[in-house]
Structures are given as structure tokens and as C-alpha cells.
Structure 1
Amino acid sequence: MLRYTLMRLGIFVGCLVVVWGLVYSGVVPRGLGASNGMWVLLLSLVISAPISFVVLRKERDRASEQIVQKVDRVKANLDANRSQEDVADDAARAQGAS
């Protein structure tokens, strides 16, 4: 998961550098007034999102599988704990009924 996040951040930073260069070289228009920094960030985000979606597909699938495995493990642990509580509760009720 950390690898996917770092790769996505790397794509964003790469797009940020390219957009910044294009804006300051005059190829892409500057923002309105003092909004130039926000313009560069938003344009970089809009460009990097579809690139990340296509380029990081396999890494995203791996991260998704890891998350599913962790969720399944947590569910299994919760079910095991619930079963232990049920056994302890049944034993306490059986002792109280005696």
C-alpha cells in the first residue's frame, strides 16, 4: 500500500514539475491574478489522476488484494473472539442455573 502511495505521489510530483515548467515558459497560460500556484497544483492533479489510473493499475490491484486479505483476517479474528465470548457466556449461564 505504501508503495502504491509513493508511486502515485511520484507521478503527481512529476506532473507538477512539468506543468510548472510549461506555465513559466508561457506554453500554458498563467492563472488569474495571484492564483498561479493554485492553478499549477490543480492542473497537475487533473493531469496526474488519469495517468495514475492507467499506469498504476497492477499496483492498485495488488494493494486492493492486500486490503481484502487484512479485512478477511480481521473478520476471522472478530468471529473467533465472538465464539469465545459465546462459550464463556454459555458456561457462566450453565453455572448460574446449577
Structure 2
Amino acid sequence: MKALKKIGMFAAGTLFGTAGVKILSSKDAKKLYANCTAAVLRAKESVMDTVTIVQENAEDIYAEAKQINDDRKSAEEVYEDDSEVESEDESVEK
């Protein structure tokens, strides 16, 4: 009895497997795969456009931050130079 049940299960599995392969390789299934793949490609393109915009913005922000630091450093150098001149003037007066 068990052997007959196992043979029946094997036959049913083979039948469903064969039918499944035929269904998965049918024209309708291929059309579905193509549509899903096209949707994924559109999504990828959209994501890449967004990534490009974010990169451009990050580059702009980075350049502006560097400029701010350069301006700040220049201002500090001018302040230090002025301090040195004042110190020299004070020592000359004494």
C-alpha cells in the first residue's frame, strides 16, 4: 500500500512538474516576464537619475564648504597679520 502511495505521489509530482514547466515557458508567461523586466529597467533608470542628482548636489555642497573654509582661513591669516603688526608697533613705541 505504501509503495502504491509513493508511486502515485511521484506520478502526480511529475505531472504537475511537467505542467508547471509548460506553463512557465508559455507565450503568456514570457510576455509577463518581459513586462516585469521592463518595469525593473524603468525603475533602475529612475533610481540612477535620482542618484545622479544627489551626486551633483553633494559636489556643489562640498565645493561650497571648501570655499567657506578657505575664506575663513584667509580671514584668520589677515587677523594674525594685523596682530603681529600691532605687537611690532607697541614694541617700537616702548
Q: Kindly indicate whether residue 86 of structure 2 is the aligned counterpart of residue 85 of structure 1.
A: no
By relative contact order (CA 8 Å, sep 6+), the higher-ranking structure is 1
1:45, distance to aligned residue in structure 2 (A): 3.9
Q: Which residue of 2 aligns with 1:75?
A: 48
Which runs of no fewer than 5 residues in structure 1 stay unpaired? 1-28
1:41, distance to aligned residue in structure 2 (A): 5.0
**TM-score, normalised relative to structure 1:** 0.54
Give matches, 1:1-98, under 5 Å: 30-31=5-6, 36=9, 39=10, 40=12, 44-55=16-27, 56-98=29-71
Larger radius of gyration: 2
Q: Considering only aligned residues, what root-mean-square deviation do their CA atoms show, in Å? A: 2.5
Q: Which residue of 2 aligns with 1:16?
A: none
Aligned length: 66
AA at the equivalent of 1:94: Q
Partner Cα separation in structure 2 for residue 42 and residue 83 of structure 1: 56
1:30, distance to aligned residue in structure 2 (A): 4.8
1:58, distance to aligned residue in structure 2 (A): 1.2
1:85, distance to aligned residue in structure 2 (A): 0.7
**Which has more helix, going by share of residues?**
2
Which runs of no fewer than 5 residues in structure 2 stay unpaired? 72-94
Q: Which moved more, 1:78-87 or 1:50-59?
A: 50-59
Quick one: percent identity of the two aligned structures? 8
User: Deviation above 2 Å: which 4+ runs of structure 1?
Assistant: 29-32, 39-47
